[in-house]
């Protein structure tokens, strides 16, 4: 392969097996993996809610994963700006984003500079939103006395 740099991003709130699957698969397809972790400010702006796990703790969790070579802050959704900073060859994202207007735009944007966008299989049946919902339901059914 010859020193292929990969890049992927996420919130990584309430880290789960779906997150790990994407990171592991991404690392199998590059020599050096950079992971952008969304800042609390970006999550609030994009999703209208604060992450359950604070940014510094989410970074510490992602840094501890053996497939991750470097963790960087994701402060905005400007993927091209990230490329200008980190010069990655491949950008990895879950297959649930494939075909969306946002990612079609990224594909067009990256074509001239030769960055390959790789859609990795999405792990069905798990998301941080689902985990939050399950925990809330459990707490509602089992109030602390």
Q: Which residues belong to the active site?
A: 47, 49
Q: How many Å apart are CA 117 and CA 127, to the nearest integer?
A: 22
- The candidate with the shortest Cα–Cα distance to 79, out of 46, 45, 118, 109, is 109
User: What pairs with residue 8 in β-bridges?
Assistant: 35, 92
Contact 33, 61 (CB under 8 A): no
Q: How many Å apart are CA 117 and CA 114, to the nearest integer?
A: 10
């Amino acid at each position: 392969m010859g020193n292929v740099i990969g890049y992927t991003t996420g919130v990584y709130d309430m880290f789960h097996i779906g997150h790990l699957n994407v990171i592991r698969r991404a690392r199998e397809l590059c020599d050096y993996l950079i992971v952008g972790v969304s800042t609390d400010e970006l999550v609030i702006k994009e999703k209208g809610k604060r992450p359950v796990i604070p940014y510094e703790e989410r970074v510490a969790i992602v840094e501890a994963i053996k497939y991750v070579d470097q963790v960087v802050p994701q402060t905005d959704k400007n993927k091209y700006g990230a490329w200008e900073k980190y010069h990655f060859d491949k950008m990895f994202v879950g297959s649930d984003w494939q075909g969306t207007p946002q990612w079609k735009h990224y594909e067009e944007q990256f074509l001239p500079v030769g960055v390959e966008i790789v859609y990795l299989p999405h792990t069905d049946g798990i998301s941080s939103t689902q985990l939050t919902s399950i925990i809330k339901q459990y707490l509602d059914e089992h109030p602390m006395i």
